[in-house]
């Protein structure tokens, strides 16, 4: 079955270039030049994609807002495109649910490599979700996470986690009591080699803590061991 990709990019040259590469790789591409039209298309036609590529600075609903709206309903991978290079901009995208971030100008071959990596990870996640043979669940002081149903509850209130957020939390809980470095966490969850100064893990941990309503100074579940990594006690 052909995989469908949502592309939202207002620069015509970039949009046409990405469409060319994506279609040559066998993907079906729905492209829009503004966030509002893309969102209306998703909402009215209940479109479910395999992956989305969103430019940050698009007319109407910007890329960050569109990412947040998509994450309210869907969990497919989202790659953000931006002309900005500030770490804060990158962290913003990751904390609202984006899975990857590419800065312009870029090599379209790099984008294709990132697309294929995200689709492989997402496929692997879905296969694991449908093929688990027995219940695997942890319950830590009111935080209950179930690998069979891929659900998470905090004091009986369901917490909506993206696949990556779920994988991070599951790995930390599975290794309860052990300090997990950012490098180990990134390589286990993303399946890629960790690069120095990579803020991806930190951004996702921040988002997880926010969803778990963790106090900033004294988190109850995910604790930071400064200079080493993270652990769940």
- Tens-digit pLDDT profile for residues 168-222: 999 999 888 889 998 888 888 887 777 765 678 888 999 999 999 988 788 889 9
**pLDDT-derived band of residue 82, with 50, 70 and 90 as boundaries?**
confident
- The answer to whether 101 and 90 have CB atoms below 8 angstroms apart is yes
* Furthest CA-CA distance within the chain: 53
Helix and strand totals (H; E) in the chain: 8, 11
Query: What's the token pair of residue 170?
Result: 């599951």
- Tens-digit pLDDT profile for residues 103-131: 888 999 999 999 998 898 877 766 665 54
> How far apart, in whole angstroms, are the C-alpha atoms of residue 225 and residue 179?
7
**pLDDT-derived band of residue 153, with 50, 70 and 90 as boundaries?**
very high
What is the dihedral sign for C-alpha 208, 214, 217, 220? negative
Question: Virtual CA dihedral for 205, 208, 210, 215, nearest 10 degrees?
Answer: -70
CATH architecture of 133-232: Orthogonal Bundle (1.10)
Average pLDDT (135-144) is: 83
- How crowded is residue 14: how many other Cβ atoms within 10 Å of its Cβ? 18
Query: pTM here?
Result: 0.59
**Domain boundaries of the chain, sorted by first residue:** 4-128, 133-232
Q: Quick one: which of 168, 184, 157 has its CA closest to 221?
A: 168
CATH number for the domain formed by residue range(s) 4-128: 3.40.50.2300
- Tens-digit pLDDT profile for residues 25-79: 999 999 999 999 999 998 887 778 999 999 988 998 999 899 989 988 888 899 9
> How far apart, in whole angstroms, are the C-alpha atoms of residue 109 and residue 92?
25
> How far apart, in whole angstroms, are the C-alpha atoms of residue 193 and residue 29?
29
Residue owning tokens 């604790």 = 223
pLDDT of residue 8: 96
């Amino acid at each position: 079955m052909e995989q469908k990709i949502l592309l939202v990019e207002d620069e015509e040259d970039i949009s046409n270039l990405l469409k060319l590469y994506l279609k040559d790789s066998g993907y079906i591409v729905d492209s829009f030049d503004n966030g509002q039209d893309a969102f209306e298309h998703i909402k009215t036609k209940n479109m479910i994609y395999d992956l989305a590529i969103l430019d940050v600075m698009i007319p109407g609903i910007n890329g960050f807002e569109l990412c947040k709206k998509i994450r309210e309903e869907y969990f497919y991978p989202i790659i953000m495109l931006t002309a900005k290079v500030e770490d804060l901009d990158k962290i913003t995208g990751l904390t609202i649910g984006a899975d990857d971030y590419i800065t312009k100008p870029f090599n379209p071959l790099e984008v294709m490599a990132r697309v294929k990596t995200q689709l492989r990870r997402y496929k692997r996640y879905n296969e694991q979700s449908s093929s688990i043979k027995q219940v695997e669940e942890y319950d830590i002081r009111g935080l209950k996470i179930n690998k069979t149903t891929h659900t998470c509850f905090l004091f009986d209130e369901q917490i909506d986690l993206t696949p990556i957020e779920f994988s991070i939390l599951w790995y930390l809980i599975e290794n309860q009591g052990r300090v997990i470095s950012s490098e180990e966490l990134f390589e286990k969850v993303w399946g890629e080699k960790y690069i120095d100064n990579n803020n991806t893990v930190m951004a996702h941990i921040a988002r997880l803590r926010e969803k778990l309503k963790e106090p900033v100074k004294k988190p109850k579940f995910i604790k930071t061991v400064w200079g080493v990594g993270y652990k769940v006690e």
